[in-house]
Amino acid sequence: MSYQVHFFICTNGVTNPEKCGSKDAEEIHAQLKKKCSPLFDKKQLRINKSGCLGHCEKGVVAVIYPHNQWFFNLKLSDIDFLFSNIEQAINEPPFAGQT
């Protein structure tokens, strides 16, 4: 199944203070999913946890595909910000260079 927007958030490294998993990544994932699930159907959006996305020093890290839109240093207070970006991504298909 393909999705219009696929959001990945790194939850790697729960016990390592230098990794996203130790910095509220699981809770950001849970709250964002709770906020988005009633508003978007399964073809529009999929929100997944991911392993390391290769930018640990900037964690918590997330990315929207196919837009290739990255987010760094995420906090629980960024849920509304992330929601707005996801909503915008769903409403605006990526341009050719982003796919």
Min separation Cβ 56 and ligand FES, Å: 3
Do 10 and 52 form a contact (C-beta atoms < 8 A)?
Answer: yes
Do 98 and 67 form a contact (C-beta atoms < 8 A)?
Answer: yes
Three-state DSSP at 59 gives coil
Min separation Cβ 23 and ligand FES, Å: 9
Q: Does 59 bind ligand FES (CB under 6 A)?
A: yes
Whole-angstrom distance, CA of residue 43 vs CA of residue 31 = 20
* Binds ligand FES by CB under 6 A, chosen from 55, 69, 83, 94: 55
Where do contacts with ligand FES occur on this chain (CB under 6 A)?
10, 12-13, 19-20, 52-56, 59, 61
